[in-house]
Amino acid sequence: MIPNKKATLEMETEAMRAYGYRVVDAIVEHTATQREKLPVALASREEMDSMFLEEAPEKSSDAEEVLNFVLEKVMTQSTIVSHPKSFSFVPGPSNYVSAMADTLATGFNIFSGGWAASPAAAELEIVTINWLLKIFGFPSKKGGGIFTSGGSMANLTAIVTARRIKCGDDFSKAVIYLSDQAHSSNIKAIRILGFRKEQIRIIPTDLEFKIGLNKLQNAIAKDKLKGLQPFLMIGTAGTTNTGTVDPLSEISKICKAEGLWFHIDGAYGGAAILAKDGKKLLKGIQKADSLTVDPHKWFYQPYEMGCLLVRNHKWLKNTFTEKPEYLRDVEGNTSEINFYDHGVQLTRRFRALKFYMSIKTFGLQAFRKAVTYNIDLAEATEKYLRKSARWEVISPATLAVINFRYNPIKAQLSEKELDQLNQHISEQVVASREALLVTTVLNGQIVLRMCLINPRTTLQEVKDTLQLCAQFGQAKLEA
């Protein structure tokens, strides 16, 4: 007996085609018209429950009905992170070619763990990692890397590798250094890996939010005197808060002299290397032992795609290779890389494809121009803010991030009043859904933060948003 289509989870060929076209139409429509939509989605748990909560259905439903329901109710209830007026956190500008590449990778369900399962997927990962090694000035022959789900997983992978290579099995005395502006994913990774709190040194940053070198050196010296084992320094190339780059060359020298592994978290700012000004700011990035970059941020890829690069590809293999019996027949020769031996995941989706297809299609030059535009846009925004007696720049435009606050000189507001005013402005803007613009805290001050990595955001859209902020601010002051 031939099972019916439903029992084999299949659709008729023509039905598949029609279904697929509707999905593509929806994606294209969204991509082409998102500018006219409101970027912010606001809904409570109760509202979402009332829309979606149900038992798993035993019976089938009409495919088109389910699709329509999802297009109407699900896809509309998410903040549009690729919207030109999504300024907060780190936006996800993405690009259509990569979205289609992801669709292909999923449609063919390509297993990107080992060479035997897909030589082409492994090869494209090798090729695109090589592109990145070259872009960041890492050793092209000896260097290596792996694509991960994101920056958090890349940082975790880096810290495990550093520990394996520097400490072996005994890390009871190992100590890790990072600044107070380092991304929280590093602390999370350190905790996941079973380090104790006493093994972490959070080094204060200076007025520019860069790690204090003197403080770092003192901490290392003190720990060595105590008989501890300083083994890892995590620097940041573009902090998420302010875009600040730690003094990478100087840190590298300290790490060399003291025998520390130097990991650079470039998840936010790494991509700025594609722009001339960005490259200057990132001087020394090529000296890291390992480097996190996050293509789903400023390399314009859709979620999920992070990346870890290392100076020596053997480090990854020495850290992550395990040899269960059932994988014996698929080991292959050493030039044919099994990426499951280079990271945490065995079964992996084919992430390299979107990076490969988007760079082949648009060319690296288009990416360079987009990143340069983003850096320039933030600088133009700073200039605009500085010309006004109502705005105050708190941290200057750096790698497309700028922090500022509404502070009309005439109003003579106290620090507390300024905090309340800018918090109010952000809440009103988000409630209006016109722009995603939230606050951050710098030196204890509540400030507005714009992250301008969307190449489709215009200066006019920035000015319109600032105008809206000023209106809410003025209304509050007059109330």
- Binding of ligand PLP by 152 (CB under 6 A): yes
- Binding of ligand PLP by 246 (CB under 6 A): no
Nearest CB to ligand PLP, comparing residues 93 and 306 = 306
| Smallest separation (angstroms) from ligand PLP to the CB of 475 | 34
- Which of 177, 195, 268, 340 binds ligand PLP (CB under 6 A)? It is 268
- Binding of ligand PLP by 281 (CB under 6 A): no
- Binding of ligand PLP by 295 (CB under 6 A): no
- Binding of ligand PLP by 151 (CB under 6 A): yes
Judged by CB under 6 A, the chain residues 102 through 131 that form the site for ligand PLP are none
- Which of 88, 128, 157, 185 binds ligand PLP (CB under 6 A)? It is 185
- Binding of ligand PLP by 265 (CB under 6 A): yes
| Smallest separation (angstroms) from ligand PLP to the CB of 276 | 22
Nearest CB to ligand PLP, comparing residues 90 and 291 = 90
Give the integer Cα–Cα distance in Å for 468 and 422: 13
What are the C-alpha distances in Å from 397 to residues 82, 294, 376? 21, 21, 9
451-474 burial, b for 16+ CB within 10 Å, e for fewer? bbbbbebeeebbeebbebbbebbe
3-state secondary structure labels for all residues of 100-168: HHHHHHHHCCCCCCCCCCCHHHHHHHHHHHHHHHHHCCCCCCCCEEEEECCHHHHHHHHHHHHHHHHHC
Tell me, by CB under 6 A, how many residues bind ligand PLP.
Answer: 14
**Closest by alpha carbon to 173, among 188, 195, 157?**
195
Q: How far is CA 323 from the centre of its chain?
A: 32
Two structure tokens written together for 77: 């209830």
- Does the CA dihedral 360-364-370-374 come out positive or negative? positive
| Smallest separation (angstroms) from ligand PLP to the CB of 236 | 6
- Binding of ligand PLP by 240 (CB under 6 A): yes
Nearest CB to ligand PLP, comparing residues 402 and 469 = 402
CB of 111 closer than 8 Å to CB of 117? yes
- Which of 121, 124, 267, 281 binds ligand PLP (CB under 6 A)? It is 267
Stretch that binds ligand PLP, among 15-23, 37-45, 53-61, 265-273 (CB under 6 A): 265-273
- Which of 235, 306, 343, 455 binds ligand PLP (CB under 6 A)? It is 306
CB of 456 closer than 8 Å to CB of 411? no
Burial class (CB in 10 A: 0-12, 13-18, 19+), 217: middle
Site residues, ligand PLP (CB under 6 A): 90, 150-152, 155, 183, 185, 236, 240, 265, 267-268, 294, 306
